[in-house]
Amino acid sequence: MRSPVYTIYTPMLIEIFPQDYEICKKASQNYWSSSKGGKYGKGVLNTKTDPCRTERIGLLGEMAFANFMELPIQFEYKKHGDKYDFLIRDRTIDVKTASRNYGSVLIQYKNSFGNIVFRQKDIYVGAYLVEDTGKTASIELVGYTLGKIVKKLTPVKSKVGKWLNFDVPLDALKDLRELKKFYKNQIDWHDLY
């Protein structure tokens, strides 16, 4: 058995054009967090003038990932959220998109009520919003990490709110081109480790 080769991540700037932007915008208006209560239930970034910002940013990240990977996108509403964003060769993928470059990917572990909400995925993809014009957007796809690596991290307190997150530094993410090779059946699952 050969040793796995780790590649340092190479961020990719993905442009979201008007047609795809509009799909994300409309889907964000139907997303499940809009129905949650509490101070942070509707999304920390949402405002009265932009009530779907949190959801839209997440969907823009998913759209960027789908466009890069050449995957179909499905933005249907699911009560209580979805179990994963994408399924590739029986592996669950969750795309985490921040509103800007914070230097890390945050994956929620406990909510503000102290309940564990972490549902481990096989793969986490890190991304962040570079620009949102209201008609187009730019998303930086940074890289990926494996769920089994995230699960070994110690959750840290969020800077806003009372929840706990796994904090994965962007420079710890692996090159998304390797994940694309996995999707295209050019490498096996164990090659992603």
Residue 117 φ/ψ, nearest 5 degrees: -115, 0
Q: Do 184 and 126 touch, CB atoms closer than 8 A?
A: no
Measured distance CA(187)–CA(10) in Å, rounded: 19
Delimit the domains of the chain by residue range: 12-187
CA atoms within 13 A on the CB side of 9: 19
Average pLDDT over residues 7-20: 83
**What is the SS3 assignment for 139?**
strand
**pLDDT tens digits for 81-133?**
668 999 999 999 999 999 999 999 999 999 888 899 999 999 999 999 999 99
pLDDT: which is higher, 158 or 39: 158
What percent of the chain has pLDDT above 70? 82
**What's the rounded mean pLDDT across residues 136-149?**
96
Give 30-46 pLDDT, tens digit per residue: 764 445 554 444 555 66
Nearest one of 94, 88, 97, 32 to 60, comparing CA atoms: 97
Tokens 């969750």 correspond to what residue? 94
Q: Using alpha carbons, list the distances in angstroms from residue 167 to 23, 48, 78, 81, 100.
A: 30, 29, 26, 22, 15
Which token pair is 21? 């932007």
Query: What is the structure's pLDDT at 41?
Result: 47
What is the share, in percent, of the chain residues with pLDDT greater than 90?
Answer: 63
Residue 8 has pLDDT above 60, yes or no: no
